[in-house]
Each structure stands twice: as structure tokens, then as C-alpha cells.
């Protein structure tokens, strides 16, 4: 492993990415609290944050043909700081993405919608690469964070796929890839069914409330 070039440079970069994770994490926490307060419903099941390890950074740079330097790390490795937001339903994913995109100090650099356009493996998730300003004592540094938003079922599938392919170092037998793709289809059906069920529950609840107000008019 060739990183870091110098301890001070490495420590500063990691400090910035950790600060960016805290900033974006705070935005997500506030949105979650607001949703609970206003709608009595929280679309976010849980949030995970991580900083990419030096080994993973070096591996990614080498894979893409870049030298293992701190400058190249900042320039070419876009997912050093990562936040994963896990939701209950697919409709929540786009709602959260829209709310984050409207934050005044968050700049959306790029979006990859692997839900409407899944990867060949069956992988589904909504990726946003954003930049957020980190206010230091003497300057402001825009720092990138990758945000992944997915359902519980998508996260379950992606976690297992990662573990399986890690064991085979990316060269899993063909039948395992086929089975994973089949499982991805099952996950999609499950998400669709759960979303439909949730919508039916909301409609039934609204109908009950309307009937109650009809039978118990105020004034």
C-alpha cells in the first residue's frame, strides 16, 4: 500500500471526509425528526456511515490505472465518504433524495438510479454524489460524500452479494450469479408487494377516518 504520502496530509483529508459525514448525517437526522414530528411517520429505518479504508482506496486507484497518491485519491475516488440510508418502501427513496437535493448547502454532483436501471447483477440502489462545504477556521473546503438510498430488501441483497463475491474475489461461478439475479427479482417483487400493501393500509385508514367524521360531525 502506497498511501499515505505524509501523515499530516492524510490526517487532514480524513478529517475533512469525517466532517462531511457528520454534516450530511445531521441533515438526514433533522429530516427524519421533522418527518416524525409532522407526519408521525419516519421513512428512514436506519443510516450507516463509513470512510473507505486506505487498502480499498489504493485498490480502486490501481484498478482504474492511477498512481496511489493523495491528490489522485481526492480527484478520482468519489466514494471515500459514504452514507447509506435504508428505507421501508421504494417511494421513500425518491422522497428522501428530493429533500436532500433541496438543501441549500448541498450540491448534487451526479445521480445514478440503479432502481429504475438495475445493474446486470440485479443490484438496485439510488446513488447521489454530493458536495458539502466544511467551514474551517481559515477556509471553506467543499467535500464529497456518496449517498446510497435503498430499501431494507435491497440492502439485504446487496450485503449478501458483496460477501459472496468477496469470497470468490469477483469471480463467482456462473450458477451463483444466476441465482443472485433470481433473488434480485424476488426482492423487487417483495418491495412492490410491500409498497402496494402500505398504500392499501393508508387508503383503508383514510376511509375509516372519513367514516368516523361522517358519523361524528363537529359543530
Are 125 and 149 in contact by the 8 Å Cβ rule? The answer is yes
DSSP 67-86: ---HHHHHHH-TTSEEEEEE
Name residue 132's beta-bridge partners: 143
CATH tag, 7-152: 3.30.460.10
User: Would you state the pLDDT for residue 163?
Assistant: 84
Cα dihedral angle (103, 114, 160, 92), rounded to 10 degrees? 50
Phi–psi pair at 145, nearest 5 degrees: -135, 135
Q: Report CA 120 to chain centroid distance, whole Å.
A: 19
pTM value is 0.86
The interaxial angle of helices 7-39 and 90-101, nearest 10 deg, is 120
Could you tell me the residue ranges of all domains in the chain?
A: 7-152
Q: What is the largest CA-CA distance in the chain?
A: 76
- pLDDT range class, residue 166, cuts 50, 70, 90: confident
Which contacts qualify for 95-100: CB closer than 8 Å, 24 or more apart? 95/43, 96/28, 96/31, 96/43, 96/44, 96/149, 97/126, 97/128, 97/149, 99/31, 100/27, 100/28, 100/31, 100/128, 100/130, 100/147
Alpha-carbon distance 140 to 153, whole Å? 38
Asked if pLDDT for residue 219 goes beyond 60, the answer is no
Asked if pLDDT for residue 215 goes beyond 80, the answer is no
Are 16 and 85 in contact by the 8 Å Cβ rule? The answer is no
Alpha-carbon distance 119 to 137, whole Å? 43
Q: Which residues are catalytically annotated?
A: 146
Percentage of the chain beyond pLDDT 70 is 94
pLDDT tens column, 106-117: 999 999 999 999
Amino acid at each position: 500500500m502506497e498511501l499515505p504520502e505524509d501523515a499530516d496530509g492524510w490526517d487532514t483529508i480524513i478529517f475533512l471526509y469525517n466532517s462531511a459525514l457528520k454534516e450530511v448525517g445531521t441533515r438526514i437526522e433533522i429530516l427524519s425528526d421533522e418527518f416524525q414530528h409532522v407526519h408521525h411517520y419516519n421513512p428512514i429505518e436506519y443510516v450507516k456511515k463509513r470512510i473507505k479504508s486506505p487498502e480499498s482506496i489504493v485498490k480502486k486507484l490501481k484498478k482504474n490505472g492511477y498512481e496511489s497518491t493523495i491528490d489522485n485519491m481526492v480527484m478520482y475516488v468519489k466514494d471515500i465518504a459514504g452514507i447509506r440510508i435504508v428505507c421501508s418502501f421504494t417511494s421513500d427513496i425518491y422522497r428522501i433524495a428530493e429533500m436532500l437535493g433541496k438543501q441549500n448547502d448541498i450540491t448534487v454532483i451526479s445521480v445514478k438510479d440503479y432502481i429504475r436501471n438495475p445493474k446486470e447483477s440485479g443490484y438496485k440502489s439510488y446513488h447521489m454524489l454530493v458536495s458539502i462545504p466544511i467551514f474551517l477556521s481559515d477556509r471553506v473546503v467543499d467535500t464529497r460524500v456518496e449517498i446510497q438510498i435503498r430499501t431494507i430488501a435491497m440492502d439485504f441483497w446487496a450485503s449478501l452479494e458483496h460477501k459472496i463475491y468477496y469470497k470468490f474475489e469477483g469471480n463467482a461461478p456462473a450458477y451463483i450469479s444466476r441465482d443472485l439475479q433470481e433473488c434480485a427479482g424476488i426482492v423487487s417483487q417483495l418491495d412492490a408487494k410491500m409498497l402496494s400493501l402500505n398504500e392499501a393500509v393508508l387508503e383503508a385508514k383514510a376511509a375509516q377516518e372519513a367514516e368516523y367524521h361522517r358519523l361524528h360531525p363537529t359543530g
